[in-house]
Amino acid sequence: MKEMTCPKCAGTMVNHQHGEVEVFRCGTCSGIFLDRADVGALSEAENDWHRGSGPHTEPIPRILPDMHTPPPSRPRARSFLETLFG
């Protein structure tokens, strides 16, 4: 495959496969470039992710005298794209 150069900074582009989507990322400026079909596939994946991510509420724990403060939880991703590029 011919080496691609970034249209923004002329750096070398690196190909990454995320599921069925092919992403080109510049090693210099970290720019991300996609084919038109891949943008559509990412859009569909984003919609599917939101459809399946309803409210995540934790049940309120029963308070006992020997309880300690729980460790902080990891922040949840706000979108499917954030899980790929976050």
Tokens of 42: 């990412």
Instruction: Compute the distance between CA of residue 48 and CA of residue 70 in angstroms, rounded to an integer.
Output: 32
Tokens of 69: 């403060």
Please report whether residue 42 resides in a domain: yes
Going by C-alpha positions, the residue among 1, 43, 5 that lies closest to residue 24 is 5
Q: Express each pLDDT in 35-56 by its tens digit.
A: 888 888 888 888 887 777 666 6
Instruction: Give the global pTM.
Output: 0.49
Given phi > 0 = left and psi -120 to 50 = alpha, else beta, which region is 56? beta
Please report whether residue 39 resides in a domain: yes
Helix (H, G, I), strand (E, B) or coil at 25: strand
Domain that holds residue 35: 1-48
Q: Express each pLDDT in 61-79 by its tens digit.
A: 677 788 777 777 777 777 7
Domain tally, the chain: 1
Tokens of 67: 């309880």
Please report whether residue 71 resides in a domain: no
